[in-house]
């Protein structure tokens, strides 16, 4: 009697995993490279200096220290904002599509929410990269779009992490792992708390930790992407996706 050989697991889930990883790895590389071209500070402080200043494409008077600074490599940070939003959007929508056959009445509303949050996150990051956060934009009265982009991205990205933790088996079964859901919730809560701290800093001075709280609202989403990619890869190797009827 012939032995039934199990069907090999589809490699499709590895596509969103790869996109998540590229976004998460590219960010620190591009940000670090941009910082190398930030001229005007004797020592760059991740806690004090903002992500927004890295993307300003002209010489400006430093809003905290009142001396001129220039981000000579600003294009890289503006590309960084946009690649993070676009790759997150492509990866997350692809993952939701690939796992569409595992939808239940319990998970369907959460998946719909995640689609909307994905669109908002991508739009927010693209806004941050297209409209700068410098004094010229403030004079032109368009700087609000930059801060709207940050708020959209931080709220949507971190809320998505929290929604991912609410109910297991939303996407392919790998998210039933308690440690993954706990870490997702922790990252989302910390990201939203950081945004709250950033929005309530009050009047800025040379000791204000703008960079700490702005980065604190963005980095957790990148970490969630890396963690999610890792869990997808582990689930794929263990055959979890094949068991979950993801395709």
Q: What is the pTM of this model?
A: 0.90
Query: What does the alpha-carbon distance between residue 177 and residue 244 come to, in Å, rounded to a whole number?
Result: 14
Q: How confident is the model at residue 242 (pLDDT cuts 50, 70, 90)?
A: low
pLDDT for residue 42: 74
What pLDDT, on a 0 to 100 scale, did the predictor assign at position 64? Answer: 65
Question: Within 99-243, where are the H helices?
Answer: 108-130, 135-139, 143-166, 178-199, 210-238, 240-243
What is the pLDDT at residue 201? 87
Give the tens place of pLDDT for each residue, 93-108. Answer: 999 999 988 788 899 9
Look at residue 12 and tell me whether its pLDDT is greater than 80.
Answer: yes
Q: Give percent of the chain above pLDDT 70.
A: 90
Residue 174, pLDDT above cutoff 90: no
Q: What is the pLDDT of residues 188-237, one digit of tens each?
A: 999 999 999 999 987 766 677 889 999 999 999 999 999 999 999 998 88
């Amino acid at each position: 009697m012939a032995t039934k050989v199990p069907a090999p697991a589809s490699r499709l889930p590895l596509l969103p995993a790869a996109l998540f990883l590229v976004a998460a790895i590219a960010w620190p590389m591009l940000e670090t490279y941009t910082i190398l071209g930030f001229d005007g500070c004797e020592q760059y402080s991740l806690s004090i200096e903002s992500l927004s200043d890295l993307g300003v494409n002209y010489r400006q008077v430093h809003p905290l220290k009142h001396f001129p600074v220039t981000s000579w490599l600003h294009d890289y940070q503006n590309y960084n904002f946009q690649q993070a939003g676009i790759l997150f959007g492509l990866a997350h929508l692809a993952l939701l599509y690939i796992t569409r056959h595992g939808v239940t009445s319990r998970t369907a509303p959460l998946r719909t929410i995640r689609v909307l949050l994905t669109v908002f996150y991508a739009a927010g990051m693209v806004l941050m990269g297209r409209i700068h956060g410098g004094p010229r934009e403030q004079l032109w009265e368009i700087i609000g779009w930059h801060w709207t982009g940050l708020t959209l991205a931080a709220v949507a990205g971190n809320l998505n992490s929290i929604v991912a933790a609410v109910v297991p088996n939303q996407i392919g079964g790998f998210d039933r792992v308690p440690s993954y859901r706990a870490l997702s919730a922790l990252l989302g809560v910390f990201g939203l708390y950081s945004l709250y701290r950033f929005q309530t800093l009050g009047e800025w001075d040379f000791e204000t930790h703008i960079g700490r709280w702005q980065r604190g609202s963005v980095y957790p989403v990148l970490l969630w992407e890396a963690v999610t990619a890792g869990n997808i890869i582990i689930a794929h190797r263990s055959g979890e996706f094949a068991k979950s009827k993801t395709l």
